[in-house]
A = this chain, B = another copy of it.
Amino acid sequence: MTPRIRHLVSVDDLSVAEIRELFSVARGFSEDIRAHANLCRGLISASLFFEPSTRTRLSFESSMLRLGGGVLTAAEMTSLSSAKGESLADTVRVVSGAYADLVVLRHPSEGAARLAAETASVPVINAGDGSHEHPTQTLCDLYTLWIEKGHIEGLDVVLAGDLRYSRTIHSFVYALARFGANIVCVPHRGFELPEYVVRRLREEYGAEPMRADASELGALAAESDVVYMTPQKPHQLSLFTDSRGLRVGRVDAVYMTRPQTERHGQDNAGELRTYMRLGQESMAAEPLREAVVMHPLPRRDEISSDLDDDPRSIYFKQAARGVPIRMAILALFLGRIQLEARPVEAVPSLFPIRAGTSPCPNPSCISHTEVRHVRQAFKLTSRDPLRAACGYCSQEIPFGLVGCTTTRHFHPLDSPSARKIRPDHLVLFRDLEQATALGFSAATR
């Protein structure tokens, strides 16, 4: 119904080449950030925030104002996605009708931005959808590395703290791998990178986790099992590896995260009393001499203020760089700049869930929290083995059998027939019982 509009739901909606070019644009803007107030004059962005996030909102709105555009603010929209209220789809359709030329959406449910993009008649920028994606934060982090180090490929980036529950870390780690940086995980004990993140790193970027010898990092890594992952060919690394694991030599950046206490169970309360704290002591080792210290902010106590005046501390600069990079993003999606780089070939297709109830296992996915005007959809993340994820929140969908809407037969996942079903004919079944209840029968052979 709507014309072909580009949205920024995920970092993957931009090609690596586009992102590199955006970095140059942002750097140009930052040279005199007040000199671009005509670029988006006459255009309006609307901040639709279904949960408060003052910092993210102000960063976007500042960027739009610096481009000379106007800003509509709905800072605390009550989540209307309930039996009593309006659907997110309708809200976005109305606001994108004539009110605004671009929507910046923040929502507590994973997948909300994807759903909004489906109905919007203007570009939607995802400003955080639950614990799913926050692409402009990731782009800001990458941009900061690029500005500081001149490149991203081949950098050694330490990720420290709560690597298990931090959305920021997960998005950043994929992006680092995509840009060819090496990842040094220094988790707070018990808060290691989740298995599904490691698997995606391995499958998409060939980055195998290796035990690492971080003894030279001193206090920073003293309490952690350090893991090293590189999207580069592992044989290049073998020289530096011995029985204690890969030697971690020089570090380019330490990216610290706060404990995501709101997502922790009660079990972890004890762990957090001893949560890592970055300070002069933990940054004293020689390999950290030129490592910039990053943090997505807000921080609490995990970075000591004794680091604030250290020239390596760039977390406030990092926050400030959110403005030029968001200016570049807004200008691009509002059509006021054109890039030479080629866009991504194709965004993964979504296929409708054709039978049964939503198989998405994530209770805070928008496909569950929204009661009106939402369809179920999945995307195929792998053909062999067959693997599917929710089309909205990207969580892996568990299924035990598949069916074909044409033949009305079901098949085991590892059967050749299963792999031959066209994705748009594919039905995912939890088990035999569900398959038969939905009227599918076993393939005759």
Which residue numbers of A lie inside 8 Å of B, CB to CB? 1, 30, 33-35, 37, 41-44, 46, 52, 54-55, 58-59, 61-62, 65-66, 70-78, 80, 84-86, 90-91, 93-95, 97-101, 297-301, 305, 309, 316-317, 319-324, 372-373
Q: Are A98 and B297 CB-contacts (below 8 A) given A54-B77, A74-B54, A77-B54?
A: no
Docked pose: A296 CA to B74 CA in angstroms = 20
Number of copies: 3
Which residue of B has the minimal Cβ distance to A258?
B86
| Contact (A299, B90) CB under 8 Å given A99-B323, A320-B98 | yes
Contact check: which of B30, B33, B66, B300 meets A86 at CB < 8 Å? B300
Question: How far is B49's CA from A74's CA once the two chains are assembled, in angstroms?
Answer: 13
Q: Which chain B residues border A61 with CB–CB below 8 Å? A: 72
Provide the bound-state CA to CA distance between A322 and B55, in Å: 29
| B37 near A316: Cβ-Cβ < 8 Å | no
CB-based contact A74/B58 at 8 Å: yes
* A30 nearest in chain B by CB position: B98
In the complex, A44 Cα to B60 Cα: how many Å?
13
> Given the complex, which residues of B lie within 8 Å of A76, measured CB to CB?
76
The interface residues of chain B lying within 8 Å CB-to-CB of A299 are 86, 90
Sample (7) of A-B pairs whose CB atoms are under 8 Å apart:
A34-B43, A37-B41, A54-B74, A73-B75, A86-B297, A86-B300, A98-B320
Residue of B nearest to A64 (CB): B70
Whether A62 pairs with B44 at a CB distance below 8 angstroms is: yes
Shortest CB-to-CB span from A291 to chain B, Å, is 21
What residue of chain B has the Cβ atom nearest to residue A316's Cβ? B93
Known contacts A65-B70, A90-B297, A300-B84, A373 near B33 by CB under 8 Å: no
A90 to B313, CA, bound (A): 13
Contacts of A101 in B (CB 8 A): 34
B72→A62 contact, CB < 8 A: yes
Give Cα A348–Cα B52 distance, bound, in whole angstroms. 39
Name the distance in Å between A306's Cβ and chain B's nearest Cβ.
Answer: 11
Contacts A298-B86, A309-B1 given: A58-B372 contact, CB under 8 Å? Answer: no
Q: Say yes or no: B323 contacts A98, CB within 8 Å.
A: yes
- In the assembled complex, the Cα of A76 lies from the Cα of B78 at a distance in Å of 12
Instruction: Give the CA-CA distance A86 to B323 in the complex, in Å.
Output: 20
Q: What separation, in Å, do the CA atoms of A65 and B98 have in the docked complex?
A: 12
Please give, as numbers and ranges, the residues of chain B lying within 8 Å of A86 by CB-CB distance. Answer: 297-300
Per a CB cutoff under 8 Å, which of B1, B44, B85, B94 touches A66?
Answer: B44
How far, in whole Å, are A85 and B261 apart by their CA atoms in the complex?
12
Residues B316 and A97 in contact, CB atoms below 8 Å apart: yes
Distance (whole angstroms) from the CB of A148 to the closest CB of chain B = 16
- Report if A324-B98 is in contact (Cβ < 8 Å); known contacts: A298-B80, A298-B85: yes
